[in-house]
Amino acid sequence: MKIKDKTFKILISEKELQSKILAISKAINKDYKDKTPLFIGILNGSFMFVADILKNISLQCEISFIKLASYTEMTSSGSVKELLGLNENIFKRDIIILEDIIDSGKTISSVIEEFKLRGAESVEVATLLLKPDALKVEADIKYIGFEISNEFVVGYGLDYDGLGRNTKAIYQLK
């Protein structure tokens, strides 16, 4: 598959993705029995993962989305992300964050921190992909689809320069 100047080869097939997603949904159904969790998808990359997870969730639940806006602070700390679009009251709620990929872990750990500050009852994360070799901060991730090597991937919601999100499988740089 070609996107702009780069060529990609298949890494995870549609069938592998769907069977892993079903397993994660089943685990969540079991772990949150008798609870009413609030799922929070992180846009844009998670939209397909969120849709496929939720199709297999049998719990009474809510779903919402947030977006992270990057802006550069004039400090040595570098870039800071602002959380946009969270309208639900998350005080005392059981939150399950749905993310496409965890790379350095900085995005997810700042989101977890923010939800805890706002008084969530519990905060857990389900990520489709994790790059263990890229992790820079400690992050406690309860549900992990696939651990992959530290290479750039695209498809099934993930993009290369805004392109390539619209595929049923995940591809890796060739």
Catalytic center residues: 103
Among positions 104, 121, 132, 174, the unique one binding ligand IMP when judged by CB under 6 A: 104
> Which two three-digit tokens encode residue 29?
């159904």
With CA atoms as reference, report the closest residue to 18 among 127, 100, 99, 128: 128
Q: How far is the CB of 57 from ligand IMP (least distance, A)?
A: 21
Tell me: does residue 105 bind ligand IMP (CB under 6 A).
Answer: yes
Q: How far is the CB of 7 from Mg ion (least distance, A)?
A: 23
With beta carbons less than 8 A apart as the criterion, state whether 118 and 91 touch.
yes
Tell me: does residue 45 bind ligand IMP (CB under 6 A).
Answer: yes
Tell me: does residue 111 bind ligand IMP (CB under 6 A).
Answer: no
Q: How far is the CB of 41 from ligand IMP (least distance, A)?
A: 11
Question: What is the contact mask toward ligand IMP in residues 120 to 139, using x (rule: CB under 6 A)?
Answer: --------------------
Q: Which CB sits closer to Mg ion, 45 or 155?
A: 45
- CA dihedral of residues 90, 83, 104, 156 (deg, nearest 10): 90
> Which two three-digit tokens encode residue 132?
């263990």
The amino acid that residue 80 corresponds to is: V
Q: How far is the CB of 35 from ligand IMP (least distance, A)?
A: 26
| Spatial separation of the C-alpha atoms in residues 120 and 42, rounded to whole Å | 17
Among positions 3, 24, 98, 107, the unique one binding ligand IMP when judged by CB under 6 A: 107
Size of interface with ligand IMP, in residues (CB under 6 A): 15
Q: How far is CA 17 from CA 42, 143, 145, 153, in A?
A: 19, 14, 8, 14
Kindly give the pairing relationship between strand 38-43 and strand 94-102. parallel
Q: Which CB sits closer to Mg ion, 37 or 41?
A: 41
Run of H or E including 115: helix 106-117
Quickly tell me which residue has 């997810």 as its tokens: 108
Among positions 37, 45, 155, 157, the unique one binding Mg ion when judged by CB under 5 A: 45
Residues at the contact surface with Mg ion, assessed by CB under 5 A: 45, 100
